[in-house]
Amino acid sequence: MRATLNSRRLCFLFTPRACRHDPWVTLEQALVAGVDLVQWRVKHRDAAGAIRARDVCREHDVPLIVNDDVELALSIDADGAHVGQDDLDVTAARAMLECRLLGVSTHDLDQLIAAERAGADYVGFGPMYPTTTKGYVEGKGADAIVPIVASATVPVFAIGGITAETVSALARAGARHFAVSAALAHAEDPAAATRAILHAIHIASPNEKKR
């Protein structure tokens, strides 16, 4: 699974309660349309929901990452876990997860370097733009991703306010991986929203072959 991370473009930060429509229909539509990584993002422990999400993802050969709960990730045999700066120590999380994927939230270059040294398989970096999901009223902007991508030795998922409209500037700046929440969860048509984001990435990415 680790070997495929670099080819994965779009991570859906999946919170069932945040979805405009039936969350399981939303997840299925997003996966069919091209989401290739899913993060289970629920504040309270919901093992049954996480297992259901895992099973849906496995039908599409897409990894499921559990946010902020390494023990839950292990108990449901998820593909990995993601921790923030204020969560479980990254080194401890790496030891617990063994060969499973480990993602770490980062906000600057020092945190990126520390996460890599502790064994992160990928990092999230942001917030890139204002977002209602986490209540950020300001974002770092596309230019902030440039030195991060240049320095990183693991995939960097740009996060925060990512939409079909905002993703283009990030892709032009060199970002190759993106984490999305509200743009899919709140969409009237999650499949169309997914395709729109992926199309914008394809058009704006400097190394993509245009057809």
pLDDT tens digits for 103-122?
999 999 999 999 999 999 99
In this prediction, residue 187 carries a pLDDT of 98
Active-site hit among 8, 41, 94, 176: 41
| pLDDT interval class at 131 (50, 70, 90) | confident
- Assess whether pLDDT exceeds 70 at residue 161: yes
- Assess whether pLDDT exceeds 90 at residue 191: yes
Is residue 134 annotated as a catalytic residue, yes or no?
yes
In this prediction, residue 18 carries a pLDDT of 97
| pLDDT interval class at 136 (50, 70, 90) | low
In this prediction, residue 135 carries a pLDDT of 61
Active-site hit among 117, 134, 151, 172: 134
Quick: pLDDT tens for 54-101.
Answer: 999 999 999 999 999 999 999 999 999 999 999 889 999 999 999 999
Is residue 105 annotated as a catalytic residue, yes or no?
yes
Say how far apart CA 14 and CA 12 lie, in whole Å. Answer: 6
Say how far apart CA 97 and CA 81 lie, in whole Å. Answer: 8
With contact defined as beta carbons under 8 Å apart, do 171 and 149 qualify?
no
- Assess whether pLDDT exceeds 50 at residue 211: no
Written as six digits, the tokens of 193 are: 């929203």
Q: Percent of the chain scored above 70 by pLDDT?
A: 95
Average pLDDT over residues 32-41: 99
Q: Which of 111, 91, 204, 207 is nearest to 152 (CA)?
A: 111
- Assess whether pLDDT exceeds 90 at residue 11: yes
Fold of 2-204: TIM Barrel (3.20.20)
Alpha-carbon 103 to chain mean position: 9
With contact defined as beta carbons under 8 Å apart, do 156 and 122 qualify?
yes
Ranges of each domain in the chain = 2-204
Pairing of strands 10-14, 64-67: unpaired
Of residues 32 and 43, more confidently modeled: 32
| pLDDT interval class at 137 (50, 70, 90) | low
Non-local (6+) Cβ contacts of 203 within 8 A are: 168, 210
How much is the mean pLDDT over the chain? Answer: 95
